[in-house]
Amino acid sequence: MYRAVALAFIRHGDKLTADTANRLLPSIRIHIDQADDGLRISLNDEDVTEAIRRPDVTSASSRVAALAPVREKLVEEQRRIADEYEREGGGVVLEGRDIGTVVLPNAGVKIFMTASEEVRAQRRYVELVEKEADVTLEDVLDEIRRRDERDASRALAPLRKAADAIEIDTSKLNVEEQINVVIQAVTERGKSSAV
């Protein structure tokens, strides 16, 4: 969602300021749909799933996420989505850097996934190269470091692990192994909370 807002800023050629956010936000509509190939993100009825993964959008997203008007709108929307799924009885899995600490601090299970900067950079680099992006591994690693620093040091909803979150280091795990560890953690947390 933050990436979609960052893309809107970029497309409008506007500076990443709270004043710009207040001007742009009323015209921004973000929609998330489940598809066979995963989640699809729409910005004002345009599928931007691929566009929001561009390096310039990645860079802008953490700066946009530090703007109070953007955070207020998107936290409200994320809570609305979670409530909607909860009412339907299926629950919801949300991913983000402040979900367990700000958006849903009372969530039944919180998982804080980590991996070394180098592993995250390699994963992102492979993803970008597959999309024919012109990047180097060093550039990707530098951007990850800058984004982590911005997100951890921002005054509003900084990146941090919730006290009751289960931490999982995925550095040496493939996707299937990560899924299995998460399922195990959720199962164990469910058993302990039922006691």
- What tens digit of pLDDT does each residue of 92-143 get? 888 888 899 999 999 888 999 999 999 999 999 998 899 888 899 999 999 9
Domain that holds residue 76: 1-91
Q: Provide long-range contacts, Cβ within 8 A and 24+ apart, for 177-180.
A: 178/113
Cβ atoms within 10 Å of 113's Cβ, excluding its own: 15
Structure confidence by residue, pLDDT tens digits, 55-81: 889 889 988 988 999 999 999 989 988
Residue 34 counted as domain residue: yes
Q: Report the domain count for the chain.
A: 1
Residue 159 counted as domain residue: no
Residue 60 counted as domain residue: yes
49 Rama sector, left if φ>0, alpha if ψ -120 to 50, beta otherwise: alpha
Region of poorest pLDDT, from 8-17, 84-93, 145-154: 84-93
Residue 134 counted as domain residue: no
What CATH number is associated with residue 67?
A: 3.40.50.300
For a pLDDT cut of 70, what percent of the chain falls above it?
Answer: 97
Answer yes or no: is pLDDT of 157 > 90.
no
Residue 35 counted as domain residue: yes
pLDDT at 191: 58
Residue 47 counted as domain residue: yes
One-letter amino acid at 50 equals E
Residue 97 counted as domain residue: no
Residue 53 counted as domain residue: yes
Residue at token pair 């921002």: 154
